[in-house]
């Protein structure tokens, strides 16, 4: 894997992990049957972020805008469908945390960030 591709992949995975942490920080304090922030983070990481590694691996080789946008839309639809079907018995009403995770277009945002960072590096 080329160094630039490796950086793109790390940026993509880091963006997803950061988004999981941001979402978990918005979780309310443990009250009633709600999940704590740490529980939400682990849930999102294990059931949403780790499976996205396959998408990240595919997107790093197909970095055209159309491919990134379509694969982000497909991944969002798949995660929302999975959350609304298979994850409901596992996570009950906590599946609502998967919706903002799935709807973040990480491939497109990663490409924008990578191009911006490359432009900044060239300007130095």
pLDDT for 77-116, tens place per residue?
999 999 999 888 888 888 888 989 989 999 999 999 999 9
- pLDDT of 1 > 70? The answer is no
The Cα 99–Cα 118 span in angstroms is: 31
Taking residues 15-40, what's their average pLDDT? 82
Q: Evaluate whether residue 25 is within a structural domain.
A: no
Q: Evaluate whether residue 78 is within a structural domain.
A: yes
Q: Evaluate whether residue 26 is within a structural domain.
A: no
Q: Evaluate whether residue 87 is within a structural domain.
A: yes
Q: Evaluate whether residue 112 is within a structural domain.
A: yes
Q: Evaluate whether residue 3 is within a structural domain.
A: no
Which phi and psi angles does 19 have, rounded to 5°? -65, -40
The parent domain of residue 112 ranges over 38-119
Taking residues 7-29, what's their average pLDDT? 91
Counted domains in the chain: 1
SS3 12: helix
């Amino acid at each position: 894997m080329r160094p630039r591709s490796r950086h793109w992949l790390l940026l993509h995975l880091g963006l997803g992990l950061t988004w999981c942490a941001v979402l978990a920080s918005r979780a309310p304090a443990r009250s009633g049957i709600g999940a704590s922030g740490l529980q939400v983070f682990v849930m999102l990481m294990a059931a949403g972020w780790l499976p996205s590694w396959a998408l990240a691996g595919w997107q790093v080789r197909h970095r055209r805008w159309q491919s990134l946008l379509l694969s982000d839309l497909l991944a969002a639809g798949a995660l929302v469908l999975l959350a609304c079907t298979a994850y409901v018995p596992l996570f009950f009403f906590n599946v609502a945390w998967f919706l903002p995770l799935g709807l973040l277009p990480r491939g497109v945002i990663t490409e924008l960030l990578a191009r911006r960072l490359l432009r900044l590096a060239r300007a130095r």
